Amino acid sequence: MKIITEASVYLLGYQAVAGHELERFLADHDVTWETDTEVGAEVLTETAGRLCYMSYAKPRPGGNTAYLTHIKEVGHGSVLEHAVWNFVFTGVSRTLTHELVRHRAGMGYSQLSQRYVDESVAEYVCPDVIRNDPELYRVWYTAMREAHAAYVTLAEKLAEKLVGAAYLKYARDCARMHLPPCGPDDWYRGQHQEVKTGFRKEARQAARSVLPNATETKIFVTANGRALRHFLEQRGSRFAEPEIRKLAGQVLAVLQAESPALFSDYVRERLPDGTDEITTQYRKV
Ligand SMILES: Cc1cc2nc3c(=O)[nH]c(=O)nc-3n(C[C@H](O)[C@H](O)[C@H](O)COP(=O)(O)OP(=O)(O)OC[C@H]3O[C@@H](n4cnc5c(N)ncnc54)[C@H](O)[C@@H]3O)c2cc1C
């Protein structure tokens, strides 16, 4: 049983600009325009924003950063929806992902299935406030170990029961047709992989009911810039749960490196529990 205290954030995808098509669009409209960023998300959001007024010809000074800061100032948030990133988060609890998937607008998710994937090698995410107290940690660890053992037993016994019931049905069918049945092991070996997977899935989906909220999970998240800003503000708040607040801090670090023009307005303030609160003067654009 592995205990996790820190999430991992992987940035798997970001945007690339089809430069030749941008040039073709500008040429078709008799304008020349160049921006001063090479970050795909920043080029695309500026292009989208400028399209609204066809303001490519005489851009104000300050380049892409000034332009996108103005977009945030005036709250023209839909422009930020054209920036998209793909992440994988691992080492997060089911509690965290339950909160994360409440963010609906502009976010897409693919999460590890507890019905298909065996959790008998499960890992558990321990809240810092428990991890840092030996007595509380002992109570927590015992609870995880017991829940884990119950899951393994239930998954095994349920699978055995389901296979046993299916074999009995087969044996009864054979008897009705006056055919000699083969033994249970041979019968099981002869089953299609899909049928065997079906038994395990049925067993795991029931057994997982005893798994704790702390069970580690993995989630693929695709999100646009506007949705990510909303996520950072809500979940980076001092009122958010510490695990998701820490994740918001990790995501912010990735995004500030990735796209300073869209995310450098966020500032961090250290809270007494050692996590950072994230705030901005341009809330919920
Ligand atoms: C500190 C904290 C405590 C919380 N406690 C609880 C709790 O006790 N119980 C609970 O159930 N939830 C709780 N939540 C979750 C919260 O209610 C939201 O569901 C979650 O934060 C997602 O926010 P959202 O709906 O604004 O975001 P998103 O779904 O990301 O939407 C972004 C924005 O799009 C707009 N939008 C999205 N969907 C719609 C829609 N269907 N109709 C109209 N406008 C829409 C809204 O303006 C919304 O703010 C909590 C959240 C936080 C941060």
pLDDT tens profile 79-126: 999 999 999 999 999 999 999 999 999 999 999 999 888 888 889 999
Q: Does residue 268 surpass a pLDDT of 90?
A: yes
Is 235 assigned a catalytic role? yes
| Smallest CA separation from ligand 1 atom 26, residue | 103
Beta carbon of 240 within 6 Å of any ligand 1 atom: yes
Beta carbon of 234 within 6 Å of any ligand 1 atom: yes
Distance 135 CA to ligand 1 centre (A): 36
Q: Among residues 41, 68, 76, 84, which one has the least CA distance to residue 284?
A: 76
pLDDT given at position 120? 83
pLDDT tens profile 146-199: 999 999 999 999 999 999 999 999 999 999 999 999 999 999 999 999 999 999
pTM of the model as a whole: 0.94
Catalytic residue (choose from 50, 226, 235, 245):
235
Question: Mean of the per-residue pLDDT values for the chain?
Answer: 96
